[in-house]
Amino acid sequence: MSRETIAALIPHQGDMCLWEHIVEWDDARIVLETHSHRSLDNPLRANGKLRAVHLCEYGAQAMAVHGALKAAPERAPPGMLVSLRSVTFTRDYIDDLTDALRVEAVCLQAGDSSQQYSFKITHAGETITEGRAAALLELPE
Q: What is the CATH number of the domain that holds 43?
A: 3.10.129.10
Return d(Cα 8, Cα 103) in angstroms, integer: 19
**pTM for this one?**
0.93
Residue range(s) defining the domain that contains residue 84: 3-137
Per-residue model confidence as pLDDT tens digits over 92-139: 999 999 999 999 999 999 988 999 999 999 999 999 999 999 999 987
Alpha-carbon dihedral of residues 85, 106, 31, 2, nearest 10 degrees?
-90
Q: Residue 141: pLDDT above 70? A: no
Please give the tally of structural domains in the chain. 1
Per-residue model confidence as pLDDT tens digits over 3-51: 888 998 888 888 899 999 999 999 999 999 999 999 999 999 999 999 9
| CB burial readout 48-57, b (16+ within 10 A) else e | eebebebbbb
* Confidence (pLDDT) at 76: 86
Q: Is 14 in a helix, a strand, or coil?
A: helix
